[in-house]
Chains A and B, each alone.
Chain A
Amino acid sequence: MPDQSLALSVRGLTKRYGDTTVLHPLTLDIPDGEVFGFLGHNGAGKTTTIRLLTTLLPPSGGTAEVAGHDLRTDPLGLRGAIGYLPENVRLYDRFTTRENLMFFARLSGLSDAADRVGRTMAFLGIEPLAERRVGTFSKGMRQRVGLAQAILHDPSLLFLDEPTSGLDPMGVRLLRDIIEQLNARGMTIFMNTHLLSEVSRTCSSIAVLAHGKLVFQGQMDAVTERYGDDRALEALYLGVGEQESAA
């Protein structure tokens, strides 16, 4: 029986390309209802981890239960229970917002696709964009439509890969509000980022990945307690970087 209290349970998950290990055995537990920040420098292995957990990449070793579904034995069930927003998603430029969302709703097997699309657009405040082609959108508008496709089917676990990348301050704030609202609904959020300010404001727990290795995992409260000031996260992040450099 899958452990219902954990949204994500990873055991020794590894990814290798030939002799190069891009993700060393990763063990990680994320309880239901968390907003989890996955931190790391560019190239640390964050996107690889998300791709492994969303079944886009096959692991070289280890296993994981994602939203109650085994990564190796139940990939279809897993995909039905998660949402995913890649970095810099462009969607179908020649299609309107509604057409894009209807397509992904149907692929998610939603028989009430039109209702779900309507409700999701209303939730994200993108109804005025419904009949406009996505190709004409700004980065921020496109990101909201991208987020809409990720939450259409009401997943229990949402993966966001650098969701604030390229957004202006208003867009970042809007996204933060949406994440908080989704989390208040009970959705677990797994967010890749290297923006410390966003993590400290949004996340309830974090992990830090450096050169494919997990170097820290804990609750945000514990981080603040351990380092004892407002710049706790930055201290942790830079400290990890220095340790890695020294190693």
Chain B
Amino acid sequence: MPDLARFPILTIALRDAREALRDRFVLIATLALAAAALVSVLSGAAALHGDATTYAAARDQLLALGRSASDIAAPELWPLKLLRGTIEQIEIMGAVIALIAGYRAAAAERGRQTLALILTRPVPRWKVLAAKLIGGVGLSAGALAVVFAVSATLLHLLSGVGLTLNDLGRLALVWVMATLYLSCLYTVGFALSLWLRRPAAGLIYAFAFWLLLVLVAPQIGDTMDPDNQVSGGVFAALSIPRVEQDRIKAGFAGYEFFRNGIEVASITKHLERFSFAVLGIKDTYTGRPISEIWAERRGDVLFLFLFTLGLSAIVLLRPIDPDRLTQEI
């Protein structure tokens, strides 16, 4: 163990982590997120298990009859597709929890007057803020690790298909991306609750941010997509061939640029697009090697990374308002 007295950032971040482990809110929120994610995993896993069992029974029958198992086509089972619900829960519910956790981190330090005590120690203020943000990353990573570990374990056990090392690698990649996403929202909750006169007002503004970027922007983008106006897609309903589809779309390039612009302004959409691709949830990416997906979707990672970095830089560069050291009601 290093001498923590020489590393104030580590000292503060570790303290935050220890407090999170004792915080009932963190425990309940993590379990609630895991439970919500599991509902979809459980139902999907049961269906997948049914498919796998049916195939196994048919294959055994063939083998018993002395025929080759290759006489019937093995079904393509993609267990990671069942994590769609998990990703959606992280996008919406996880985001709310991260905002509240960020708010609580700022409000608690102000309410207990411990922020004033920390700021009268010989530690540069940017280090104090950096430590708080790192604490948020740790909290997000820990909570998501629990959610993904529980989801993956149940998926493995209940689906009867099993997860490969490649699957676990994909899960790890999505875990990193989701950690970045929740850290970003934690930072929003923390910063607004620290900057405003009343932390509760900060939380309200944080929810406005959530409403706009997590709920509204992706939804507007979807609603404005002409292909989404009819169930199953306009082009499919009208049986328009692919070449003709592309020609029609080319005529709406400006509109499409605008529509897509709204959609990709949302960090949520970047998490979704990347995760759905890596986990094979979106059919066009199912079964494709990770290197191909990475080459195609690394822009999502870059966007989320730069967004989080920019937000963190604003928090670090903005001086702590000395009139915001205590909590006003």
Contact = CB atoms under 8 A, between A and B. Distances in A.
- Which of B12, B15, B121, B123: most chain A Cβ within 10 A? B121
A26 interface: no
A92 B114 contact: yes
B245 to A, nearest CB: 59
Most A C-beta atoms less than 10 A away, residue of B23, B120, B121: B120
A54 B111 CA distance: 19
A92 B120 CA distance: 16
Given A107-B12, A109-B122, A86 B5 contact: no
B19 A92 contact: yes
Contacts of A107: 8, 11-12, 118, 121, 123
B295 interface: no
Interface string A68-109: 000000001101101010101111111100010001111111
Interface string B311-329: 0000000000011010000
B113 A56 contact: no
B39 interface: no
Given A86-B113, A93-B112, A111-B5, A56 B119 contact: yes
Interface string A102-143: 011111111101000000000000000000000000000000
A57 B112 contact: no
Contacts of B322: 51, 56-58
B3 interface: yes
A192 interface: no
A108 B114 CA distance: 14
A58 B323 CA distance: 10
B146 interface: no
A106 B113 contact: no
A54 B120 CA distance: 6
A56 B5 contact: no
Contacts of B114: 89-92
A57 B325 CA distance: 10
B6 interface: yes
Interface of A: 51, 54-58, 76-77, 79-80, 82, 84, 86, 88-95, 99, 103-111, 113, 149
Interface of B: 3-6, 8, 11-12, 15, 18-19, 22-23, 111-114, 116-124, 322-323, 325
